[in-house]
Amino acid sequence: MRIGKRSLDELARRWEKAAGNGAPIVREVHWDDELRGFGVRRQNDRSVSFVLKYRVKGDPRQRFLTLGEWPSVHPDSAREAARQVKEAAALGRDLVAEREVVAARLAAEAAELRRRAIPITEILNAWRATLEAERDRKAAAGISVVNERELLRLEARHLRPFVAGATVGSFDPDSLQALLDRQTGHSAALNLRTLIGRMARFARSWLLERGITVDWQRRYTVAQAKPPGRDHRYSLEEAARLWIAAGTLGRRGALVRFLLLTAGRRTECAGLRWSQIIFEHPTLGSHYELQAALVKHKRTTRVPLSAPAVALLRWLPPRETRRAGETDLVFAGRGNRPVGGWTDVRRALLRAARVPDGTLHDIRRTVVSTLGDHGWEPAVVDRLLNHAGSATMSGVMAVYQRSELWDQQRRALDAWTDLLMNEVAKASRKEPGPGSWGFTEPFQDAQISRPRRPRRALSAAA
């Protein structure tokens, strides 16, 4: 018989008649007279389906294929599908196996897409939790957390809005370089590059734990031009005016004065604790000591304190905080944290001192440059800057010079202090001495007003 709609309708009537006569339902197959191997099969459950027997050229095994059920599949459609399979088999191809491979590949790709549908923000949440834990651990140990705070700030301000809505599967890692290229400042781009690099490394490890491999680049470049190196220094007269102006800025101003007296780094001095200050020592004299974890070059460091520095610390009262009570931080701000807001401090300081330009870091350059002008050896003034010896000395000296040059440091710092305080006395029209240092009146803290920003004009759409 030729399998078609008419022949199948005839078979259906015959099967219904047999069923009405009480004949049992049996499994039977009827083969097509024209297309060899093509047939129709009736199962014991009365379902009828199209089938095909075929062999692939070069392979003696007989294959059996179900082409669909009737009447859902039209006989002509089943015949055409069978013909295509047999023609390909005659050429040595197995269309069924090929289609199964394609279907398996598509299913795997779909499963991988579903698996990679992890929002990038979920990775950022895990990274942020890890960094916050590291920040809290360092803070509890008294270690500076400036870097951690900056990375968390950049993540919230730049990176998180940039990747919002993206998933692991849809995210293009090259766009991170594009985000870097959009930055306008060199320093901002460097900090953001650090954040992106750390986040990318974290993301690779985090995803690998979940069986997902991503090919995100490891290095990113900063295209912004590097700003010219700063060579600005204050004159002695300007340094004296900065000292006087700092007297109106409360605890932040006291820290500025401490920087002028010690040439210390702002972040290191801001985290200074009363327990690190030694006012009296039989051999070393007054000084403060920073543990290695608190110093940029990761070495325990001692810094001598001149007489005005000791007077400043004795004049400055410990700060009371609502939660922690009396804090151990010398220059404590709110929440038992070091004072901050240094952009506003610098602006207010320069304005009050009538100094046109400069930064707090320029104080360090001013101290060592002034001492150099007065004949002090570079090795001594370099020790005042807390630089690592190997980074600032060359040749044999870098290998063998391990002396603190403590006495020379103290004499050099006393020399600088005398120059500064004499200039302060001159500017304030007072006699040189403790009376001109600015510690005769009780300490009073002060709030630094931030300049108001102009309100943005409302858009027409708003």
Mean pLDDT confidence for 208-212:
86
**100/148 same-domain check:** no
Is 32 part of any domain? yes
Find the range with the poorest average confidence among 228-237, 381-390, 414-423: 381-390
Whether 13 shows a pLDDT value over 60: the answer reads yes
| Predicted confidence (pLDDT) per residue in 70-98, tens digit | 989 999 999 999 999 999 999 999 888 88
Residue from 49, 51, 82, 48 nearest 65 by CA: 51
Contacts of 1 (CB under 8 A, 6+ apart): 7, 30, 32, 33
| Predicted confidence (pLDDT) per residue in 166-204, tens digit | 888 888 888 888 888 888 878 888 889 999 989 888 998
**395/298 same-domain check:** yes
Does residue 301 or residue 305 have the better pLDDT?
A: 305
pLDDT at 227: 63
Is 219 part of any domain? no
User: Could you write out the DSSP letters of every residue in 338-372?
Assistant: B---HHHHHHHHHHHHT--S--TTHHHHHHHHHHH
Are 70 and 5 spatial neighbours (Cβ–Cβ below 8 Å)?
no
Is 425 part of any domain? yes
Whether 127 shows a pLDDT value over 50: the answer reads yes
Cα distances (Å, whole numbers) of residue 424 to 162, 212, 231, 364: 51, 65, 24, 18
52 pLDDT band, cuts 50/70/90, is very high
Is 451 part of any domain? no
Q: How many angstroms separate the CA atoms of 272 and 236, rounded?
A: 26
**200/316 same-domain check:** no
Structurally, the chain folds into a number of domains equal to 3
Among the candidates 79, 98, 115, a domain finishes at 115
Whether 289 shows a pLDDT value over 50: the answer reads yes
Tabulate helix, strand, coil % of the chain (nearest 5): 50, 10, 40
Residue type, 332: A
pLDDT at 293: 59
Full domain range(s) for residue 191: 120-208
228 pLDDT band, cuts 50/70/90, is low
Is 370 part of any domain? yes
| Predicted confidence (pLDDT) per residue in 314-348, tens digit | 999 988 776 667 788 899 887 777 888 888 889 99
* 3-state SS class at 138: helix
**85/172 same-domain check:** no
Is 54 part of any domain? yes
pLDDT at 315: 95
User: Could you write out the DSSP letters of every residue in 197-245?
Assistant: HHHHHHHHHHHHTTT------S-----SPPPPPP-----HHHHHHHHHH
Contacts of 4 (CB under 8 A, 6+ apart): 75, 76
**56/186 same-domain check:** no
457 pLDDT band, cuts 50/70/90, is very low
Mean pLDDT confidence for 381-390:
69
